[in-house]
Amino acid sequence: MPIRWSVLKVNEAMDEMEAQLDLAEAFLAQAEAEAREATNIANLPEYMGQRLSRLIYTIERRQEMKAAVGSVRNAIPDGAMEVEQRSTQYGSQQSLI
């Protein structure tokens, strides 16, 4: 059964997402550094330290977003991109089949 969704569009979306995640990396790294620095504030109550630790943990999980993009890419059937590239090589006309 042929694939009815555009493998190429999904791949392009993942390219865009990876580009955005790469742009965000420096900002997220800075946010993490600021949160870590805040944990060293003198006389910081434990409940604030716990919240800062949770924030740091959440920021650290940004690598999971890249892994999720990889998971989407891995779910694309083998050879599907090549088939779609060949079928759209001369334009995008709907199949009569």
The identity of residue 84, as a single letter, is E
pLDDT confidence of 86, banded at 50, 70, 90?
A: confident
Global pTM exceeds 0.75? no
**pLDDT value of residue 95:** 56
pLDDT confidence of 74, banded at 50, 70, 90?
A: very high
Q: Model confidence over 28-65: pLDDT tens digits?
A: 999 999 999 999 999 999 999 999 999 999 999 988 99
Which residue, chain included where needed, has tokens 């977003």? 65
- Checking if the pLDDT of 97 tops 90, the result is no
Maximal C-alpha separation, the chain: 72
Which residues, at least 6 apart from 68, have a Cβ–Cβ distance to it below 8 Å?
none
